[in-house]
Amino acid sequence: MMSGNALRDLNTLPASERKNDSSSKGNFTKNCNGNTIENVQELQKKNPSSVCINGGETVNAAVEVANLEVEYIESENLGDLEDVNTCLEKLLPGLESKDWVLVVETLNNVRRLSIFHREEMHSMLGDLIPLVVKSLKNPRSAVCKTAIMTSADIFSAYNDDLIEFLDPLLVQLLLKSSQDKRFVCEAAERALEVMTTSVFPMSLLPKLQPYLKNRNPRIRAKASMCFSRSVPRLGVEGIQEYGIDKLIQVAASQLSDQLPESREAARTLLLELQTVYEKSNGLSTTIPEQPEMNSWEHFCQSKLSPLSAQAVLRVTNIAREGLVIGS
């Protein structure tokens, strides 16, 4: 069951994010009068009102801090940590900090620990995930996107161990993948893809299913895409165990959804279910003149309303006719 906070998050899209955050580059550094500022906190401590010469212009250091750019490091480019124990001790305080630069640095350390030291961080997941979720909600794009990338690395590292903590992460990633800021949206979509390839679908599909009926059409579309990607990972036996009748009803409900992404995900899922059903029942892929009792047509008509069955058969028959013609 979703928590009240999760439902509130889903029903309220985030406000527009601040525009002065960079979408791609930098490294918490900025050339200032020929020198490189590598630690924002040190700059602020030394003289919050000092000035720097940047490109011939005199600017206030506070402005300089606000305009720092952030480097988003891909997982494969992250290096290992020198002092794992010290890093582990500083994780929770770092993520709780009000200094956004420190939060981003700490999130990247969470990513490194996920990649190189997953066992050492495993016991902290219960305390860690809520703070990652807090960063996902952060209005500053640098923090939000780094938290999204952190979520993806956590999915890759811990797989099904995240099931009990998954709901708040899933809510935020669906929200972020449905917003207008493109580089945040794309990062969230990648994180959702990692989730669907990392978490066992038998556990993931029940988590996704409620979002297929969310009142926000973008949320429904992203959830539909995740659902469609997850089902094939069940395999033939897994699909039968989960219930092909349940799955066809889910797919049929998405065929008439508002957004094309939902409808396309439904079509993809239906073709997968048709293939599994016909293989399981030893059926031919040709279109019979009269539906047999165990045929795909009969199965659809027995599990769906007449209109839904007609829509499903239209989709699957068109695809099958195309295969026959092309063979």
* Segment 249-292, tens digit of pLDDT: 999 999 999 999 999 999 999 999 999 999 988 765 555 554 56
> How many Å apart are CA 152 and CA 203, to the nearest integer?
18
Bin 292: left if φ > 0, else alpha if -120 < ψ < 50, else beta.
beta
Beta carbons of 287 and 320 less than 8 angstroms apart: yes
Note the pLDDT of residue 112: 97
Q: Tokens 């582990």 label which residue?
A: 88
3-state secondary structure of 58: strand
pLDDT band at 140 (very low <50, low <70, confident <90, very high): very high
CA dihedral 239, 242, 246, 247 (to 10 degrees): -40
Residue 228 has pLDDT above 80, yes or no: yes
pLDDT exceeds cutoff 90 at 1: no
Is the predicted pLDDT of residue 62 greater than 70, yes or no? no
Mean pLDDT score, 304-326: 79
For the entire predicted model, the pTM comes to 0.78
Query: With 90 as the cut, is the pLDDT of residue 25 above it?
Result: no
pLDDT, tens only, 100-129: 999 999 999 999 999 999 999 999 999 999
pLDDT band at 159 (very low <50, low <70, confident <90, very high): very high
Of 247, 249, 216, nearest to 234 by C-alpha is 247
Tokens of 142: 């640098």
